[in-house]
Homo-oligomer: A and B are copies of this chain.
Amino acid sequence: MIDDAEFIRGKVPMTKQEIRALTVAKARLGVDSVVADVGAGTGSISIEAALCAVRGKIFAIERNADAIELIRRNVEKFSVGNVTILHKEAPDGLEALPMLDAAIVGGSGGRLHDILDALTSRLKVGSRLVVNALTVQTTAQALDYFRARGWTYDAVCVQITRLESVGLYDMARALNPVTIITAGKNF
């Protein structure tokens, strides 16, 4: 697991270490996994996934040009050879992906249901779909989607508070909570 400070960041928001670790764990990546990372941002999750699925393949999909540049630089910095960067606004581009073992949605630009529809057709039976939600509405939409279609899902809100050393004290500094919704595709 990489420290947050090691990533090249710019102004693009980055998924913090603990959320990256839980996202990758919930996606149950194996060494051969083929993974889509939709709304890849700085690429921090793609790179963690790439280091885990060392013989697999990661597709980092991102619409923002600045973020695409950051992903490129982070891929280079961490010397991962199994990340393919796609400068697309999802669901555009998803139809051309190979069949996936896992998909991670970190950003959906207001088109979550369309993205989930497009991913569904690319996900293998037994694969996992993980949505990281920062808002009440994205959470509700993801839950609605999975409930309406009868997917099995699990959802957790993760609140991380860092204890920052200040002199002889450790001060509580809260990170913003992220809700991780994980669904298994069994069909």
Interface residues of A (CB under 8 A from B): 1, 18, 21-22, 25-26, 28, 110, 134-140, 143, 147, 153-163, 165-166, 168-179, 181
**A130 CB to closest chain B CB, in angstroms?**
12
Q: Contacts A136-B140, A136-B143 known; list 18 others, CB within 8 Å.
A: A1-B25, A1-B28, A21-B21, A135-B166, A135-B171, A136-B169, A143-B170, A155-B170, A157-B161, A157-B172, A158-B158, A158-B160, A161-B174, A163-B179, A163-B181, A172-B176, A174-B174, A174-B176
Q: Tell me, in angstroms, the Cα distance from A136 to B177 when the chains sit together.
A: 14
Q: Tell me, in angstroms, the Cα distance from A139 to B134 when the chains sit together.
A: 14
Closest B residue to A17 using CB positions? B25
Whether A171 and B134, one on each chain, are in contact in the complex, defined by CB atoms closer than 8 angstroms, is: yes
One of B18, B153, B170, B175 near A136 (C-beta < 8 A): B170
**A71 CB to closest chain B CB, in angstroms?**
22
Q: Tell me, in angstroms, the Cα distance from A163 to B153 when the chains sit together.
A: 10
**A150 CB to closest chain B CB, in angstroms?**
12
Interface centre among A139, A163, A171 (most CB of B within 10 A): A163
Whether B136 and A159, one on each chain, are in contact in the complex, defined by CB atoms closer than 8 angstroms, is: no
Q: Tell me, in angstroms, the Cα distance from A144 to B163 when the chains sit together.
A: 13
Q: Tell me, in angstroms, the Cα distance from A181 to B139 when the chains sit together.
A: 17
Whether B18 and A1, one on each chain, are in contact in the complex, defined by CB atoms closer than 8 angstroms, is: no
